[in-house]
Amino acid sequence: MAANQAEAPILEALARYADADGLGFTPPGHKQARGADPRARAVLGDAVFYGDVLANGGLDDRLTRGRVLERAENLMAHAVHADHTYFSTCGSSLSVKAAMLAVTSPGHRLLVGRDAHKSVVAGLILSGVEPVWVEPQWDTSRHLAHPPSAAGYAKAFAEHPDADGALVTSPTPYGAAADLRSIADVCHRLGKPLIVDEAWGAHLPFHDDLPSWAMDAGADICVTSIHKMGSGLEQGSVFHLQGDLIDPAELASRADLLGTTSPNVLIYAGIDAWRRQMVQHGHELLGEALELAARTRTAVEAVGGFHVNDAKDFCGPDLAHDFDPLPVVMDIGELGTTGYRAADWLRAHHHIDAHLFDHRRISAQLTHADDEQTTTRLLAALRDLADHTTELRDVPQVAVPSPAELRMDQARQPRDAYFAQHTKVPTAEAVGRIAAEMITPYPPGIPVALPGERLTEPVLKYLVAGVEAGMFLPDAADQRLNTVRVVEEH
Ligand SMILES: Cc1ncc(COP(=O)(O)O)c(C=O)c1O
């Protein structure tokens, strides 16, 4: 049956529930806002509570006979050319783990780009899957990692032919995209599935001028956050499947193992609404966003001390394959300050939050929600920042180690090291010890150190200098990094 993309089954079911004046003697206990604290209602608005209904036995009946979720998932699959789509209310952090567990199993190997997000590493720890790390393509002059090449995956498969499949992150949070078609070809020549962590690529299917997306490039499973570049609510994530290398029921079962039994219908509604919006208006909305991004990039480049990274900087042999211009990545090294300090200043003085920030960059993520008004405000703030750099220069410098120095030996498997007896040692004494924890600058969330890696002096010095300069390490047991959690060795 032809898909009617004008429908939005979840939104429509919510509207029907409201029209019918549905009355639940079920969770959620606020019962359509009536029991919510009036102070919460004043801040959140009652619409939040009205839309927060039980999925089965509220939105749909107890046996899901209305096929509300299934119909919404099918429409999404149709929109992005997938065979199956699954909605998740637990972020891509869940989706990526479900994908990994459908492709491989405990004790088996999976090829993983070392620029993977911490949720992938969490998946390795929880499952006992052994990573075969594939090196990103390093831009050594910019201290930036782009996705690994197809040749990198081919080499890793040649060295580990028993690996069950591969995982690549594309686009990166910086907007750099991998050559997905070639990586999928490498995998499929060997009959192995490819997972693409496309958390940053929800918008890619809906405009030709954006990098190609995983399903069109032939990937088997693709994970996408609808809340990042899309207009869904936080935690809204989908994963798509195509081809016959992975059993759809098994993938659903893996997600069921990890997910909540109380999915938030508001999050489902946000995903459903995004799909319809994009199918009907995505080309126009994203076309406008791309034009706005081009104008904004030119204007930022003209601000003294700012350099906007574009395709010329990111793409080329041994660099990224393609590039998404919506994350506007700004190199502010010339201003003599750090991205951390600049981000704090923008928030304090202009109530503007930058997205990524590191020792020399900040980024402003643009989406179809932006317009001249928002970018004018951004530009005014950036010009003001450039005018105030003398007061921002008093910052600790962060020397980033070379790519070779950043890579540490995986002395034990992530799971073994994470669950091993561990102890806390002063950071200076952690050199040569095996990490028992993840240490991840956030954003972007790519672990610098992960359980099982033998810690080295350059990496620890870099992290300590980073913390001094304002780097945030949310997952380290000691976020100030005075101590590090290491494996007890006898
Ligand atoms: C590459 C990548 N994958 C997965 C995730 C996890 O996504 P979520 O925040 O939707 O759980 C993130 C989050 O930043 C990410 O950057």
Q: Return the ligand 1 atom nearest residue 235 CA.
A: 10
Q: Return the ligand 1 atom nearest residue 234 CA.
A: 10
How many H-runs (helices) and E-runs (strands) does the chain carry?
17, 16
Residue 357 per-residue DSSP state: B
Domain with CATH 3.90.100.10 in the chain: 403-487
CA angle 334, 338, 341 (to 5 degrees): 130
Q: Are residues 92 and 100 in contact, defined by beta-carbon separation less than 8 angstroms? A: no
* Site of tokens 């207009």: 231
Output the CA torsion 434→436→442→443 (10° steps): 70
Distance CA 48, CA 35 (A): 13
Q: Is 199 in the pocket of ligand 1 (CB under 6 A)?
A: yes
**Helix, strand, coil content of the chain in percent (nearest 5):** 40, 15, 45
List C-alpha distances in Å: 269 to 21, 69, 235, 284, 345.
Answer: 19, 10, 12, 22, 36
What pLDDT is stored for residue 2 in this prediction?
A: 75
Q: Which pLDDT tens digit goes with each residue over 438-468?
A: 999 998 899 999 999 999 999 999 999 999 9
In the chain, which stretches have pLDDT less than 50? none
What pLDDT is stored for residue 395 in this prediction?
A: 85
Q: Enumerate the H helices of 26-117 as residue ranges.
A: 38-44, 46-50, 68-79, 91-103
Nearest to 335 by CA among 326, 346, 348, 320: 346
Q: How far is the CA of 359 from the centre of ligand 1 (A)?
A: 21
Helix (H, G, I), strand (E, B) or coil at 78: helix
Q: Two tokens at 6?
A: 């004008």
Q: Is 173 in the pocket of ligand 1 (CB under 6 A)?
A: yes
Q: How far is the CA of 370 from the centre of ligand 1 (A)?
A: 22
Q: Which pLDDT tens digit goes with each residue over 237-260?
A: 999 999 999 999 999 999 999 999
Distance CA 237, CA 214 (A): 15
Dihedral pair phi/psi, residue 137, rounded to 5°? -90, 115
Contacts of 381 (CB under 8 A, 6+ apart): 346, 349, 350, 352
State which amino acid sits at residue 412.
R
Dihedral pair phi/psi, residue 114, rounded to 5°? -70, -5
pTM over 0.85: yes
- Would strands 166-169 and 109-113 be described as parallel, antiparallel, or unpaired? parallel
Output the CA torsion 412→416→422→428 (10° steps): 30
Q: How far is the CA of 475 from the centre of ligand 1 (A)?
A: 15
Question: CA 258 from chain center: how many Å?
Answer: 18
Q: Is 93 in the pocket of ligand 1 (CB under 6 A)?
A: yes
CATH architecture assigned to 9-276? 3-Layer(aba) Sandwich (3.40)
Q: What CATH number has the domain spanning 403-487?
A: 3.90.100.10
Q: Which residue out of 119, 198, 442 has the highest number of ligand 1 atoms within 8 Å of its CB and is therefore the one to mutate? A: 119
Question: CA 3 from chain center: how many Å?
Answer: 29
Nearest to 14 by CA among 44, 62, 49: 49
Bond preceding residue 263 cis, omega within 30 of 0: no
What pLDDT is stored for residue 396 in this prediction?
A: 87
* Site of tokens 């004043």: 42
Domain with CATH 3.40.640.10 in the chain: 9-276
Q: How far is the CA of 203 from the centre of ligand 1 (A)?
A: 15
What pLDDT is stored for residue 259 in this prediction?
A: 95
Q: How far is the CA of 239 from the centre of ligand 1 (A)?
A: 12
Q: Are residues 58 and 23 in contact, defined by beta-carbon separation less than 8 angstroms? A: no
CA angle 190, 193, 197 (to 5 degrees): 135
How many residues belong to the chain? 490
Q: Are residues 430 and 460 in contact, defined by beta-carbon separation less than 8 angstroms? A: yes
